[in-house]
Amino acid sequence: MPIIINLDVEMAKKKISLNELSERVGITPANLSILKTGKAKAIRFSTLEAICKELNCQPGDIMEWRDDERFRLM
């Protein structure tokens, strides 16, 4: 998938653990881990908003789109 999740980078910048962020955002550590590893198929805007609020960042800081040849269908 050409959407890359950089949540771990933002968490490291803010020195916040997965458990602490999940508690502040109001989602389970397991669900936050799924998002952090890029295995999530979707994210609610309310969750994205809460994460951005806690990390004081923009959605583009934690998600990025790459037009990479590896992801194109032949």
pTM comes to 0.85
pLDDT of amino acid 41? 92
pLDDT recorded at residue 66: 85
Q: In this structure, are residues 31 and 23 in contact, taking their beta carbons and an 8 Å threshold?
A: no
Instruction: Give me the domains of the chain, ranges plus CATH numbers.
Output: 3-63 (1.10.260.40)
The C-alpha atoms of residue 16 and residue 34 are separated, in whole angstroms, by: 17
- Each residue's pLDDT, cut to its tens digit, for the chain (74 residues) gives 589 999 999 999 999 999 999 999 999 999 999 999 999 999 999 999 999 999 999 999 999 998 866 655 54
pLDDT score for 67: 80
Report yes or no: 61 and 10 within 8 Å, Cβ to Cβ: yes
Handedness of CA 9, 18, 43, 37 (dihedral sign): positive
Per-residue pLDDT, 69: 63
